[in-house]
Amino acid sequence: MRKLMLILAAMFLLTAQDQTAAEAQDVIVYSPFNDEFMQALSRPFTQESGIRIRNIVISTGESLSRLRAEAQRPQADFWLSVRPAILAQAHSDGLIEAYEPQGSETILQAYQYPEPYITAVGTYPLVFFYNTRAVSRAGLPTPSPDWDDMLNPALAGQIVMPHPATSGTAYAAITTMLQRVMQNGGTEEQGWEFIRDFSRNVAQFTRSGRAPQSLVAAGEYPIGVGFYDAVWQAQQEGFPIEVVVPNPVFAEPYGAAVVNDGPNVAGARAFFDYLLTPQAQSILTRFGNYPVIAGINPPEGGVVVPSEQVVSIDFRWSADNRRRILDTFQEVTRAEPH
Amino acid sequence: MSAPHPPTMTAPRPPRLTRPRIFREPTSTLTFAALIVIILGLVLYPATSLLIESIRAEDGGWTLARYQLFFSSTYFRHTLYNTLLIAGIAAFLAQILGFFFAYGVVRCAIPGKTIFSAIVLLPMLLPAFLIAFALILLLGRNGLINRGLFQVGEWLQLADPSALQWVIFGSHGVILAQTLTFFPLAFLVYSAALTAMDPRLEEAARDMGASYWYTLTRVTLPLLAPAAFSSTLLVFMFNVSSFGAPALLSGGRLFFPDATMLAPEAIIQILGMFDWGMGTTIAVILIVPSLLVYFLGEHYLKRRSYITVTGNPSGSSPMPVPKGVQRLVFGVCLAITLFIICILVVILLGAFTRTWGVNYDLTLRHFHTALRASSESITNSLVLAVGGALAAATFGTIAAYLYNRRPFPGVNILDFFSMLPYALPGVVMGLGFAVAFGGRIGFLVLTGTWAIIFLNHIIRRMPFALRNAAGALKQIDPALEEAAADLGARPAYNFVRVTLPLLRASFLGAFVFGFINMMTDITAVIFLVSPRWRLLSIDLFNAIDAGRLGVAAALSTIMIASTFLVLALAWKLSGRGLDFFKK
């Protein structure tokens, strides 16, 4: 009995020590990027600085909830792949630092933001994608760049997209749908009508912003809406998945931020600096991301996004109306994230 | 996933006092005090915190608005209906399957009984969501079986070649996954009841000229009614609070298609929408059916001991079963067994093939990715589960000994609260801990540490150890301990040197049960994991959820393999190993 207690006590001590040792050197990152991607991205940084990157794979909406919940006792140091609208919201909630990383002056003009708390890190367009086999098997029309074609009743129950409450991807999609109508002279009410009709064709609103790409790649659903990077990665894996760049297309860059009073602020800032180096930027392109600094090639064989097709969305409008838009979305579609 | 109830305790003997026992037996007193602190801190405090959080208004006052919202909104009401309906149907189907298996193994002369009864227990070693995952690999829109069916449809030149497909997403999928997960439990209950049944009753019926069917329906099945009742309630209780299968498979249409199920809804409210008030409200509502069913079952189990015929008189053998029935039972057992084997094989295949559904080349890269990303989660899970299971078994055994052998006044109340975590859903216990130790209420902040996971593990799995040890204690003659006491052994010494060695089997059982549940649980720990303390089960669930099937299959394989390894070790050690109690 005493021996058992000793063993237990020794085990606790060991693990507890392990924890304190780990705390000093690690940078905890919340990002929707998968572990494989994050390991490739952080390897040169860790080799250089000795700082380990621990990535928690989590959707942007969920990580915002988490950062708020942890505000009194922050668990994460760094927040990666966050849209300007959500950065603005997090900054006004006091969750993130206004840190301008070294090298931010090298960012291309199109991706520059006057707000010190918004720094672009990478970008990829929000696209339609489809499984060629599943589409031909079900005898569906292939998606066109026209959003209105997505309302085709033949597509009922064939589309998968993320849920805007949990996924930043989906929030971007919803705001694009609204702005497209409003910028063509329609009212927001008409924008919601479009979303209502669109949601009739959606079979499932996923929790994760990157689940639709996997579901479509695997042939579970024929057509999806989501960011290009995960589609590109699925294509590299050999999945029969094709991309259509819609018109207008959402192609806002994503940014990153250092968490306010996180356990390792210095490490997080160093990682932020690293992300704008040519080395980090070219690693990004290996995973279907487009660089934000000059002189780096876009992903090999990646789609072309004509700049005149890019929808312009005031991210402050997007941030200020987030609560209202999410509530209306819930009302209009009565859909829950699965 | 759990084992059936061990028998309940006997009433305590009234102690004869000369001097207050508090002073005579300081070790017992201290241990009692410690148990009371544990129960207060880890059961009552989290449960109360949960309740408080659900009625606390954002401006600091009190409100019942969330409960009003719950019952006035069709969405939430439908979520409740979905939960009860699906849990009920799945509990019923689990009884039928469990009965078929038990009848086959106990009563029929069919080949392969040993293999059947070994395979049928396998689902108990797997997390519930893993079965759902395997079902997706087999019966998803692009699953192995459905692809085959599609080709058959094309070959038959059907207008819609997908007409033959049976896609798993929806109510039917959740029901199938839940049934497969919990029918082994029903199997255990029915095989115990069938073995214990007095064969003379059936014999008497046959002697008086009753046919096989008449005897089966008028004698055998009615005798099984109490077992059926308690087993149904137990499985229903687990179904009501399940999260994994509903979360993965409800992407289709549930009975009420605009809603989901309670446990996933609570998790979405908290982790997705950051709405602690609504999440805790749903968790509190989830308590009601669980506790109701638990108490009903407990009540019935106690009464059952008066009705059930016990003893196993020799000389009579069970009623012979007609050949046709034997063939039917054999067919059902074979089909389900093959399906379970299929589930394991498909996970293995998924782990070693490049891209599921596209490219079946063999590869080890999913293991590389899984190990690189999750090696710490694997260690964390193993360390916390081994340590937690040892601690749960130890505390449970000590508590059982004290409650039964050295009872204090009020021991029944303590026993009641010790058993409570068994009946409370994982979501409730996990969320309760997250509220109680997350700085939202109270001062003790454990969020982000291993301790919050570890303590949750212990308190949730202690009740089983307690029941298990209490049952075993009843079979040990107190005279043994009295003899030692007469020779001058103090209670603590007596417990460690005399009683504990006799409780080895029950200790091992509690360890195994605790370990498996701690490795596979997600509903409670999903609220307790943190960046530094990730767990294998959560990594695995996230991989499935994000559709990373190869990595998920590799993680599943690692989980199953390491669970088997620890269980094999425990068995090997227990032959000789639990002797370390003596030294």
Q: Within a domain: residue B31?
A: no
Residue A246's pLDDT is 94
Average pLDDT, chain B: 85
Residue B582's pLDDT is 39
3-state SS of chain A is CHHHHHHHHHHHHHHHHHHHHHHHHEEEEEECCCHHHHHHHHHHHHHHHCCEEEEEECCHHHHHHHHHHCCCCCCCCEEEEECHHHHHHHHHCCCECCCCCCCHHHECHHHCCCCCCCCEEEECCEEEEEEHHHHHHCCCCCCCCEHHHHHCHHHCCCEEEECCCCCHHHHHHHHHHHHHHHHCCCCHHHHHHHHHHHHHCEEEEECCCCHHHHHHHCCCCCEEEEEHHHHHHHHHCCCCEEEECCECECCCCEEEEEECCCCCHHHHHHHHHHHCCHHHHHHHHCCCCECCECCCCCCCCCCCCCHHHECCCCHHHHHHCHHHHHHHHHHHHCCCCC
For the domain that residue A87 is a member of, what is the CATH number?
3.40.190.10
Model confidence at B208: pLDDT above 60: yes
Q: Most A CBs within 10 Å: which of B271, B363, B380, as the mutation test of the A interface? A: B271
Residue A89's pLDDT is 87
The nearest CA of chain B is from the CA of A121 a distance in Å of 23
Q: Per DSSP, what are the bridge partners of residue A131?
A: A241
Model confidence at B537: pLDDT above 90: yes
Residue B143's pLDDT is 83
Q: Within a domain: residue B135?
A: no
> Which residue in the block uniquely carries the two structure tokens 């300007």?
A84
Domain that holds residue B519: 376-583
Model confidence at B577: pLDDT above 80: no
Q: Which two tokens stand for residue A68?
A: 């708020």
Residue B511's pLDDT is 93
CB contact under 8 A, A210 and B357: no
- Find chain B residues with C-beta within 8 A of A19's C-beta: 449-450, 532-533
Domain that holds residue A200: 126-250+308-333
Residue A185 main-chain phi, psi, to 5 deg: 95, 5
Please answer whether residues A64 and A90 qualify as being in contact, where contact means their C-beta atoms are separated by less than 8 angstroms.
Answer: yes
Q: How many CB atoms lie within 10 A of CB B41?
A: 15
If one counts the domains in chain A, the total is 2
Q: Within a domain: residue B175?
A: no
Same domain as A194, residue A323: yes
Residue B306's pLDDT is 38
Residue B43's pLDDT is 95
- Measured CA angle at A33 (ends A90, B367), to 5 deg: 150
Same domain as A285, residue A211: no
Model confidence at B252: pLDDT above 70: no
Provide the pairing of β-strand A223-227 with A126-131: antiparallel
Say yes or no: A249 contacts chain B, CB-CB below 8 A.
no
d(CA B450, CA B448): 7
B257-278 pLDDT tens trace: 777 899 988 988 887 767 888 9
Residue A176's pLDDT is 93
Residue A17's pLDDT is 45
CB contact under 8 A, A75 and B258: no
Mean pLDDT of B231-242: 92
Question: Which residue in A73, A219, A239 is closest to B439 by CB distance?
Answer: A73
CB contact under 8 A, B141 and A221: yes
Q: Which two tokens stand for residue B529?
A: 């994991």
Q: pLDDT in tens for each of the 338 residues of chain A? A: 455 555 555 555 555 444 444 455 789 999 988 888 898 999 999 999 999 998 888 878 778 888 887 788 888 999 999 988 889 989 999 999 999 999 899 999 889 999 999 999 999 999 999 999 889 988 899 999 999 999 999 999 899 999 888 788 898 899 999 999 999 999 999 999 999 999 999 988 887 788 899 889 888 889 999 999 889 988 887 889 999 999 999 988 999 999 999 999 999 999 999 999 999 999 999 998 999 998 898 888 888 888 888 888 888 888 888 889 988 998 888 766 65
B484-503 pLDDT tens trace: 888 988 878 888 888 888 88
Give the sign of the dihedral formed by CA A90, CA A96, CA A98, CA A100. negative
Same domain as A157, residue A85: no
Model confidence at B549: pLDDT above 90: no
- Find chain B residues with C-beta within 8 A of A334's C-beta: 75, 258
Of B108, B164, B116, B174, the residue nearest B141 (C-alpha): B164
Same domain as A50, residue A169: no
- Find chain B residues with C-beta within 8 A of A219's C-beta: 141-142, 357
Q: Within a domain: residue B510?
A: yes
Same domain as A282, residue A156: no
If one counts the domains in chain B, the total is 1
Please answer whether residues A130 and A136 qualify as being in contact, where contact means their C-beta atoms are separated by less than 8 angstroms.
Answer: no
Same domain as A245, residue A265: no
Provide the pairing of β-strand A241-244 with A126-131: antiparallel
Same domain as A68, residue A24: yes
Mean pLDDT of B136-162: 84
CB contact under 8 A, B271 and A210: no
Element (H, E) at B543: helix B536-545
B304-316 pLDDT tens trace: 543 444 444 545 6
> Which residue in the block uniquely carries the two structure tokens 């694009």?
A176
Q: Which two tokens stand for residue A279?
A: 């080395």
CB contact under 8 A, A240 and B356: no
- Find chain A residues with C-beta within 8 A of B387's C-beta: 8, 11-12
Same domain as A109, residue A39: yes
pLDDT confidence bin for B12, thresholds 50/70/90: low
Task: For B309-346, give one letter per residue: b (16+ CB within 10 A) or e.
Answer: eeeeeeeeeebebeeebbeebbebbbebbeebeebbeb
Which segment of A197-211, A222-236, B20-34, B281-295 scores lowest on mean pLDDT?
Answer: B20-34
Q: Within a domain: residue A100?
A: yes
Q: Within a domain: residue B118?
A: no
Residue B502's pLDDT is 86
Model confidence at B373: pLDDT above 70: yes
B44-87 pLDDT tens trace: 999 999 999 999 987 888 999 999 999 998 888 999 999 999 99
Mean pLDDT of B214-228: 89
Residue B165's pLDDT is 84
Q: Most B CBs within 10 Å: which of A14, A167, A207, as the mutation test of the B interface? A: A207
Residue B151's pLDDT is 86
Residue B411 main-chain phi, psi, to 5 deg: -65, -25
Task: For B104-134, give one letter per residue: b (16+ CB within 10 A) or e.
Answer: bbbbbebeeeeebbebbeebbbbbbbbbbbb
Q: Give me the percent of chain B exceeding a pLDDT of 90.
A: 41
Same domain as A132, residue A108: no
Please answer whether residues B226 and B304 qualify as being in contact, where contact means their C-beta atoms are separated by less than 8 angstroms.
Answer: yes
Residue B447's pLDDT is 81
Question: Which residue in A19, A64, A73 is closest to B450 by CB distance?
Answer: A19
For the domain that residue B424 is a member of, what is the CATH number?
1.10.3720.10
Same domain as A234, residue A179: yes
Q: Within a domain: residue A338?
A: no
Residue B432 main-chain phi, psi, to 5 deg: -55, -45
Please answer whether residues A157 and A275 qualify as being in contact, where contact means their C-beta atoms are separated by less than 8 angstroms.
Answer: no
Which segment of A129-138, B94-103, B472-481 scores lowest on mean pLDDT?
Answer: B472-481
Q: Within a domain: residue B569?
A: yes
- Prediction ipTM score: 0.72
Q: Per DSSP, what are the bridge partners of residue B355?
A: B359
The nearest CA of chain B is from the CA of A241 a distance in Å of 11
The nearest CA of chain A is from the CA of B150 a distance in Å of 9
What pTM was estimated for this model as a whole? 0.82
Mean pLDDT of B390-395: 95
Residue B382's pLDDT is 96
Model confidence at B8: pLDDT above 60: no
pLDDT confidence bin for B1, thresholds 50/70/90: very low
Of B245, B287, B220, B244, the residue nearest B80 (C-alpha): B287
d(CA A142, CA A147): 12
Model confidence at B6: pLDDT above 80: no
Residue B504's pLDDT is 86
Same domain as A14, residue A112: yes
Model confidence at B36: pLDDT above 70: yes
Residue B315's pLDDT is 52
d(CA B176, CA B547): 21
The nearest CA of chain A is from the CA of B582 a distance in Å of 8
With CA atoms as reference, the chain A residue closest to B79 would be: A336
Q: Within a domain: residue B74?
A: no
CB contact under 8 A, A239 and B140: no
Q: Which residue has the higher pLDDT, B303 or B243?
A: B243
Mean pLDDT of B150-177: 86
Model confidence at B581: pLDDT above 70: no
Residue A336's pLDDT is 63
* Strand, coil or helix: B355: strand
Same domain as A257, residue A245: no
